[in-house]
């Protein structure tokens, strides 16, 4: 069926597999107390865990592409519009890159 991201919940069918309710942290499951998978505190870098100092997994520095690592010259992994399509979202920001990286890659 594929996953769907509505800006707050990530669902696979009717089951909530993760949530992004606070706008910063991607959490496992439907609870706001679930394990933090990753975060987008600075709005362009997808980081591992809940820390703003966590390892950068990918970035959207140019606003068009999801790139590997923290460099704006890093290898393009996917266009942000294609990542949005893959997760069933119309959003094309850092949250889209975060959800794509952890759940649809």
Backbone angles phi, psi at 84, to 5 degrees: -60, -45
Nearest to 66 by CA among 50, 81, 51: 81
Q: Which domain holds residue 82?
A: 3-104
Percent pLDDT > 90 in the chain is: 95
- CA R_g for the chain: 12
pLDDT at 2: 86
> What pTM did the predictor assign?
0.92
Q: In the prediction, which pLDDT does 104 show?
A: 93
pLDDT, average across residues 54-68: 95
Number of domains in the chain: 1
């Amino acid at each position: 069926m594929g996953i769907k991201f509505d800006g707050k919940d990530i669902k696979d069918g009717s089951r909530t597999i993760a949530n992004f309710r606070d706008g910063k942290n991607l959490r496992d499951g439907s609870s706001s107390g679930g394990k933090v998978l990753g975060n987008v505190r600075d709005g362009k870098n997808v980081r591992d865990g809940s820390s703003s100092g966590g390892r950068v997994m990918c970035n959207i520095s140019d606003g068009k592409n999801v790139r590997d690592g923290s460099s704006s010259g890093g290898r393009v992994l996917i266009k942000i519009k294609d990542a949005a399509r893959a997760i069933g979202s119309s959003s094309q920001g850092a949250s889209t890159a975060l959800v794509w990286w952890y759940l649809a890659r």
